[in-house]
Each structure stands twice: as structure tokens, then as C-alpha cells.
Structure 1
């Protein structure tokens, strides 16, 4: 009997060691991008191709403009109380990229900005050569692009900028790129009831979309230009909604100015 107990004890010990050495089961990760890829934030490729321009952190002068910020997983969990104390009154939070990546910090960033009183919205980093516009809009809508007329939720935004992996315009003609953006916009309208804000730079848009299709009558413009003066707008718009004047990529996030006062910002959120 004693010999049997010793045998069972030895077997149980071996099982325990095997379980301890076995790899733990993991849930499907949020960071699902093609092999060799990296997660990107709004302006990461614009700054790389067009330069950061401004060397200082002082805010450009724009009368009546409301300061805000945009963040992604690069900032991790954001100290929203500090951001509010520093003057930020709105925020765009990265939700998705392509059709596989979800920002693991999205909940803390999206809900946290709302908690301190900011008007906030979500954005999607587009990879137009990986899947069609409607598919990426669906992925975005399923993972953070919801909108409600509460006066504190901005329409979802699509980030269109230089290809991080190759050809500037993702191998698409101007007509094809314009069609991609329209497909994304139309599907997000179906899913959320709002036309998405379009984030881009004048140089990239004029090169990759040009005058093939215009969105100025329906889609707010969030334009990136890192200088003291805003400069010309992309083809199709005669007014911008938001100017991203600094792409920091670190805390407290990229810096933006809304082109209007707080009531007009709320009006954009209301639709």
C-alpha cells in the first residue's frame, strides 16, 4: 500500500510539473496586423514624409479655436484629469487599423476622456490596399465607432495618410482611392448615421485622391499640417473642422485645434 501511494504521488508530481511547463492559453490578441507590421497613430506617416515643421510646443494662434488632442496605444493609459487641466476639451481616440487591429487602451482612453467632460470620438487608421472601404468601415463600426446625438460624441474619423509599408498611394489610382474613401464613408453612414470626419494632409490627398471625388459638402475635414500657419486645404474643402498642428506620438498626445468655439464643437457632435 505504501508503495502504491509513493507511485501515485510521483505521478501527480510529474503531472503538476508538466502543467507548470506547458504554455498558458491566450485569448486572441487585439494587436492583429500582418507580420512585420507596426501600429500607427494619426500623423505618424505624415510627419515622416512631410516633416514635423514646428520645433516648439507653443500653440499656433487661431482666434476662438478650442484645443484638443488625439491618442492611440502609444500613450497607454492617459491621465485625463491632467489633460483637462492643461486645457484639452476634445479628443479623438484610435480604435482600429485595417481589419484586424484594435487599440488595447481604447476603453480607458475613450471612456476616460468622456468622464472628465471632453467631447470625444474614435478614429480608424486606413490600410486601403488590404481590404475594401466597406469592410474596414464595418470593422471600425464593430469596435468603437458608435455615435449617439448626446452632444459629446464626435462622428467617427478615417485616417488617410502615407502607406507605412510601400507605395505612397497603396498602389491605387486616384479614381480607385476616391472610390475606397466613398465606400468607407457610405458604409459608416449606414452603420452610425453620420458621415465620417476625414483626416489627411493636403499633399497626400491631392496626390492620391485629387479631384476625382469631393467630400467637402458631407464630411468634416481634420487636416494635418505642422507649421505656424495652416496653409492650403485639400481638394474639395473650403473649410476645415480640426487642425492637427503637432504630431507628438507621446503624452499628452498629438495636438489639435477645433475651428470654432465650444458651442460649435458641440454642434458638430450633435450632428
Structure 2
């Protein structure tokens, strides 16, 4: 026990000094978040600080992450952008996936959905690029409007068609990975597509100004993306911050059920 505590102390010391050679912590060890927010919000109850287990999501914008240091500072899990539409692979995905795994960060992959490509093609693109790795988090379907796409910005099907396409993608991906995917969404997309009626899936909710209870009344959630302007030792630039919905014990129990 003493040896283990000493090893963790050394790891944290190296992380605090910004060392690039900090070794990965022992598997299963959870770290309290040493996060800051460039634009902090005074959330109503419950605030993100109430939750014990925190993590991040990362994509091509996070070009420099020392995963060992980030983990020692509270990045216990990471959702990594993998694919978009039917032909785009995030240029940082493979590196993030490999290095997060080596650092012992529990990681999962997400797909950004496009309404210009069939759900079958998008599901197969995700499967082609995301490995079935032991201990990985469930795959995530990211459902939000994309106002920046030169081809898909104005393609916004009615709610019934949105839900139909979601179910096709979710069924294909679940069959391949043996895990029921998680749905990520925003307040606007959730409301406009009646996702309160879309049952049977766990939700990862984005709300950076209000609590999930305020932004998604009546909706249960598993993960809460509460900031887009987090700063964490080991990560260059801003990063999204996320909280798990329960205690450390509940995290371990959920992970035992859900990690493949």
C-alpha cells in the first residue's frame, strides 16, 4: 500500500512540473479534476463540482495532449472524435486513441452525423475506422445541426425522419461492437427533433450555461459536457470538460457493465 501511494505521489509531482516523461498511473485509479475554466459559469444545483468523475472530449483541435499528465490531473475518460459523415476521418483520432489507451485513460469514439449521407454508409465508415478495443467506452452518435457544412447546412429532415436515420445507425453500430451506443446532443436539436420521446439509450448532453435539469427537463443523462473552455495540465489550448452522472462507485459499476 505504501509503495503504491508513493508511486502515485511521484506521478502527480511529475505532472505538476509539466514533465513529459510521467509514467501512466495504475489501471483503475481515479483522479480528482485539476481543471480550470477560461469562462466559468455559476451553475445552479447541481454544479459540475458535485460529480466525482470527470473527463474530456477531443478532436483535431487538440493537437498536443500529454495523456499521462492529463490523466494525473483528472482526465479519467475521453470521448474522441473519429468520423464525420461518410468519408471524413478526424486527423488526430488515431493518435489520440493510441496515446490515451497507453496512458490508461478509458476512451471511446464518436461519430458526427451528416444528413447528406445515408445512415448505413455512415455506420460502416465509423466501423471501418474505429477498432473494437477491449475496455472501450460505448460508441457515441453525435446528433446536432451543422450550420457550417457547405453541402449539408440546409438539409434538416423532419423529426420522424431524423429519428428513423438515428435508429438505423444505432442498430448497425450496436450489432458490430456489442454495445448499445450513447447519444450526444444539444438543447436545440433535442427539442426540434422530439428526442424526449427517443427512449432506450443513454444520453451525453451538452449544456454549458445551464444544468441538464434546466436545459433538458425530465431527461436522464449519463455524461454532461459542461464547458468548452477548460484548461488542463498536459493539454495545449482549450478543451471540452465533461462529468459522469454518479459517484466513483457508480462509475466503476457502470464501467463494468458498459465497457466492452
Pair in the same fold by TM > 0.5: yes
1:71 has 2:58 as partner: yes
| 1:209-266 deviation per Cα after TM superposition (whole angstroms, max 9, x unaligned) | 2159513x2x22000000252334658x742010000123973521100112231342
1:247 has 2:228 as partner: yes
Aligned to 1:203: 188
Larger Rg: 1
TM-score of the aligned structures, taking structure 1 as reference length:
0.69
Contact preservation (8 Å) 2:41, 2:209 = no
Contact preservation (8 Å) 1:201, 1:234 = no
Contact preservation (8 Å) 1:119, 1:153 = yes
| 1:62-92 deviation per Cα after TM superposition (whole angstroms, max 9, x unaligned) | 5343100000011114211221122110000
1:171 has 2:156 as partner: yes
**TM alignment of 1:64-213, pairs within 5 A:** 64-128=51-115, 130-144=116-130, 146-148=131-133, 150=134, 152-165=135-148, 170-207=155-192, 209-210=193-194
Decide whether aligned partners of structure 1 residues 259 and 168 sit closer, same or farther in structure 2, where only a CA change above 3 A counts: farther
1:214 has 2:214 as partner: no
Contact preservation (8 Å) 2:190, 2:196 = no
Tell me the secondary structure at the aligned position of residue 164 of structure 1. Answer: coil
State how far apart, in whole Å, the 1-side matches of 2:106 and 2:254 are.
8
Decide whether aligned partners of structure 1 residues 92 and 229 sit closer, same or farther in structure 2, where only a CA change above 3 A counts: same
Contact preservation (8 Å) 1:91, 1:120 = yes
Aligned to 1:270: 259
Instruction: Note the residue ranges of structure 1 that are not aligned, 5 or more in a row.
Output: 1-53
Contact preservation (8 Å) 2:39, 2:229 = no
Contact preservation (8 Å) 2:68, 2:103 = yes
Contact preservation (8 Å) 1:147, 1:154 = no
Aligned to 2:243: 257
Instruction: Note the residue ranges of structure 2 that are not aligned, 5 or more in a row.
Output: 1-37, 231-235
State how far apart, in whole Å, the 1-side matches of 2:86 and 2:92 are.
17
1:223 has 2:223 as partner: no
State how far apart, in whole Å, the 1-side matches of 2:216 and 2:120 are.
23
| 1:41-63 deviation per Cα after TM superposition (whole angstroms, max 9, x unaligned) | xxxxxxxxxxxxx9227994453
Q: Aligned pair count?
A: 211
State how far apart, in whole Å, the 2-side matches of 1:107 and 1:159 are.
19
Bigger drift between 102-111 and 247-256 goes to 247-256
| 1:107-144 deviation per Cα after TM superposition (whole angstroms, max 9, x unaligned) | 2211211211111100111112x111121111001111
